[in-house]
Structure 1
Amino acid sequence: MAKATIKEVAAEAEVSTATVSRVLNDSGYVSDEIRERVLEAVAKLNYQPSAIARSLKQDKTYMIGVIVPDISNPYFMGISRGIEDAVGAEGFQLMFCSSDENPEKEGRLLQLLREKRVDAVVLATAGGNDETVKALSESGLPIVLVDRKLGTETGGAGVLDLVAEDNEEGAYRLTGRLLEEGHVRIGVVNGPARVSTGRERFEGVLRAMRERGLREQPLVYNGAFSTEDGVRAVRKFLQADPKPTAIVSLNNRMSLGVLLEIVRSGLRIPEDMAVASFGEVEAISLLRQPGFYYIDQHPYDMGTRAGEILLRRIRKERAEEGPAIEIFRNEVNRIG
């Protein structure tokens, strides 16, 4: 059965197509009698308005693009859910994309979202696309950075709206807990330095060590924020002489790999190897008295805040204001 057209609805209701449009878009005056006739015709003909035509007319698609490094990561899932709950009530839908920590793929996704005419973008950048992001923003596309800043070459956090964690301070306090327990030989599992979270969290580790008089550089493994990189890091550390007595892992996915490999190696946590993680790891509950330090995170709240900022930008309520910067401060917790 062919789809009904707006002209057929207008003919059935004995009104103009402009009147049908006013009724469906709730714009302009239409009498109650005419409105009822139009709605009856719509129901009778099972008319479905064209989302594409409506978006062209309104210059709005009601789509928001979300690019994160790994949509399967519970942390980014929480952020995405917060965004969705914040913008969903206004009729917006999300288009999710995973960059896989690949700057080239992220660049292609940014281009795709521009071609899809999304109304805004939320970006947890993999790095390397600062100029592209800046150009899109200057063209009028609202962009909110979440979790990660742009690189320093384009002004870092000062260019675009940003919702992130206090990465350096969190890593500083997390490392401090290990140092307070007497650990001086520490292995650091970190992500790529091109990403702001990697740079800032590592600086927090170094600051904690410097303030306690430890001048020697820690053992470092730089990965790509994956479970496999946590496994590889532990294997590297266990081959060192002397071995570290504690590991600070600066990402929850890598922390899972750290825990798995320590257990596989027959070591006890924390007796043989203490572990501290930037982000909670659910699997830690399977260990008995793990003595596990972690930084608590609030991805849903961050996503909600990012969604609220986006809505104001889309409505142009903050057109004359500078970038909105929201930094979440997290606490150190201990299990066992």
Structure 2
Amino acid sequence: MARATIKQVAEEAEVSTATVSRVLNNTDFVSDEIKERVMAAVNKLNYRPSAIARSLKQDRTYMIGVVVPDISNPYFMGISKGIEDVVGKEGFQLIFCSSDENPDKEKRLLKLMQEKRVDAVVLATSGGNDPAIKQLADSRMPIILVDRKPDSPEAGLMLDLVAEDNTEGASRLTRKLLEDGHKAIGVVNGPTRSSTGRERLDGVRKAMKEYALNEEPIVYNGDFSTEDGIQAVRHFLDADHRPTAIISLNNRMSLGVLLEIVRSGLRIPSDMAVASFGEVEAGPLLKESGIYYLEQRPYDMGIKAGEILLRRIREEAPLLKPAFEIYGTEVKQLN
């Protein structure tokens, strides 16, 4: 069956196509009697307005691109849910994409967002794409950075940012291990090309210096994946000077750390203490584990990002005043 057209709706309701458009878009005054006739015709013919035609006419697609390193990570899912709960009320839909911590893929996805004419982009950058991010911002498309910053401050000068205080959060987490008497600490970190990788490692070093531990921590740099956590534990256990505690600076890697420690027959924390930047879903299954973790607020971050997005799309906030929302973090312990 051929799709009904606005002309057919107008003929059925015995009005002009312009009147049908005013009713559907709720613009200008139309009498209740005319509205009823138009909506009756719409329902009878099962008419559905063309989203493409509407976007061309309004210069808006009602689509927002969300590019994150891993859409399966509960942390980024929480951020996305918060964004969706805000912008969805205004008729916007989200297009989700994973960069897989791959700067080249991220660059292609940003280009795709431009080609799809999305109304705005939410980006948790994998790093290495400052020129592409700047080009997107220069095109006047609203772009909100979440969780991560660009490589250089200049690139992000005019961009909105919703993130955590990574340095302070990692410092607090490390201090808990130091307070418990641990001096040999293994650090599972992500790639330092990302701001989270750089800032969280700086936080670990900051805490160690506060405790007069000037030697470098034992660092395993992975790619924020569960497999990296597994490989890191194997690396630490094979080291000449095995650490007595592990701090994992990402919840995905923390899962791998816990899996491999249990698989190796070690007990937490008597054989190996563990601290995680972000709660691990499987953590509560380990009874009396004493795992330290940094409580994160991804949903709240998503809500804030969504509110900023709507202001930018509506041009309610001057571009010369980017919004910076930095969330503090609290260390907790599983008992």
Matched, 1:247 2:246: yes
Cα RMSD of the aligned pairs, angstroms, is: 1.1
Deviates more, 1:186-195 or 1:260-269: 260-269
SS at match of 1:152: coil
SS at match of 1:89: helix
Query: Equivalent residue for 1:71?
Result: 71
The alignment covers a number of residue pairs equal to: 335
CA distance in structure 2 between the aligned counterparts of 1:45 and 1:304, rounded to whole angstroms: 39
| Displacement after TM superposition at 1:34 (Å) | 2.3
Q: Is residue 228–residue 253 contact of structure 2 (8 Å, CA) maintained in 1?
A: yes
Query: Equivalent residue for 1:262?
Result: 261
Residue-by-residue CA offset, 1:187-226 (whole Å, 9 max, x unaligned): 0000000000000000000000011111110100000000
Q: Is residue 158–residue 320 contact of structure 2 (8 Å, CA) maintained in 1?
A: no
Within-5 A mapping of 1:265-280 = 265-280=264-279
CA distance in structure 1 between the aligned counterparts of 2:212 and 2:63, rounded to whole angstroms: 52
CA distance in structure 1 between the aligned counterparts of 2:174 and 2:30, rounded to whole angstroms: 66
CA distance in structure 2 between the aligned counterparts of 1:148 and 1:312, rounded to whole angstroms: 21
Residue-by-residue CA offset, 1:31-65 (whole Å, 9 max, x unaligned): 22322222222122221111110111000111111
Q: Is residue 158–residue 319 contact of structure 2 (8 Å, CA) maintained in 1?
A: no
CA distance in structure 1 between the aligned counterparts of 2:111 and 2:154, rounded to whole angstroms: 19
Query: Equivalent residue for 2:2?
Result: 2
Deviates more, 1:42-51 or 1:249-258: 42-51
The aligned amino acid for 1:51 is A
| Displacement after TM superposition at 1:256 (Å) | 0.7
Q: Is residue 251–residue 278 contact of structure 1 (8 Å, CA) maintained in 2?
A: yes
Q: Which runs of 5+ in 2 are unaligned?
A: none
Matched, 1:113 2:113: yes
Query: Equivalent residue for 1:178?
Result: 177
Residue-by-residue CA offset, 1:277-336 (whole Å, 9 max, x unaligned): 000112122222111111000111111110010001011110254110001101000112
SS at match of 1:290: coil
Matched, 1:146 2:146: yes
Query: Equivalent residue for 1:209?
Result: 208
TM-score (norm 2): 0.98
Q: Is residue 79–residue 300 contact of structure 1 (8 Å, CA) maintained in 2?
A: yes
Query: Equivalent residue for 1:225?
Result: 224
SS at match of 1:64: strand
| Displacement after TM superposition at 1:78 (Å) | 0.7
Query: Equivalent residue for 1:169?
Result: 168
CA distance in structure 2 between the aligned counterparts of 1:269 and 1:39, rounded to whole angstroms: 65
| Displacement after TM superposition at 1:14 (Å) | 2.1
TM-score (norm 1): 0.97
CA distance in structure 1 between the aligned counterparts of 2:319 and 2:230, rounded to whole angstroms: 48
SS at match of 2:65: strand
SS at match of 1:154: coil
The aligned amino acid for 2:104 is E
CA distance in structure 2 between the aligned counterparts of 1:203 and 1:96, rounded to whole angstroms: 31
Query: Equivalent residue for 1:85?
Result: 85
Q: Is residue 65–residue 96 contact of structure 1 (8 Å, CA) maintained in 2?
A: yes
Deviates more, 1:113-122 or 1:12-21: 12-21
The aligned amino acid for 2:80 is S
Q: Is residue 187–residue 248 contact of structure 2 (8 Å, CA) maintained in 1?
A: yes
Aligned sequence identity (%) = 72
Within-5 A mapping of 1:126-137 = 126-137=126-137
| Displacement after TM superposition at 1:137 (Å) | 1.2
Q: Is residue 130–residue 154 contact of structure 1 (8 Å, CA) maintained in 2?
A: no
Residue-by-residue CA offset, 1:223-268 (whole Å, 9 max, x unaligned): 0000000011111111111110111100000001111111111111
1:153–1:302 distance in 2 versus 1, CA, 3 Å? closer
Runs of 4+ aligned structure 1 residues displaced above 6 Å come to none
